[in-house]
Amino acid sequence: MTMQTDYSNFKARQKGEYEKAWQSTGKCVFCDLRDKYIIYEKNGVVLTTNLFPYIDGHLMVIPRRHSETIQEVTVEEWAEFKHIIEIGSELLKKTLKIKDVWVLYRIGEGYRAGKSVVHSHIHLIPYSLDLIKMEYQELNISPQELAEKLRKTLKKNETQ
pLDDT in tens, 6-22: 555 556 555 555 556 55
CATH of 9-132, one of 3.30.428.10, 3.40.50.720, 3.40.190.10, 3.40.50.1100: 3.30.428.10
Distance of CA 143 to the CA centre of its chain: 27
CA distance 108 to 66: 16
In 35-74, alpha helices (H): none
Q: Would you place residue 104 in the very low, low, confident or very high pLDDT band (cuts 50, 70, 90)?
A: confident
The mean per-residue pLDDT over the stretch 134-149 comes to 91
- Does position 116 have pLDDT exceeding 70, yes or no? no
Q: First CA to last CA across the chain, in angstroms? A: 68
Domain boundaries, the chain: 9-132
The mean per-residue pLDDT over the stretch 56-81 comes to 90
Listed residue (150, 105, 146, 109) closest to 125, CA to CA: 105
CA distance 33 to 80: 18
What pLDDT does residue 2 have? Answer: 45
* Contact call for residues 80 and 42 (beta carbons, < 8 A): yes
The DSSP 8-state label assigned to residue 2 in this structure reads P
Q: What are phi and psi of 40, to 5 degrees?
A: -155, 145
What pLDDT does residue 39 have? Answer: 97
CA distance 102 to 92: 11
Looking at the chain, the whole-number percentage of residues with pLDDT higher than 90 is: 45
- Does position 88 have pLDDT exceeding 60, yes or no? yes
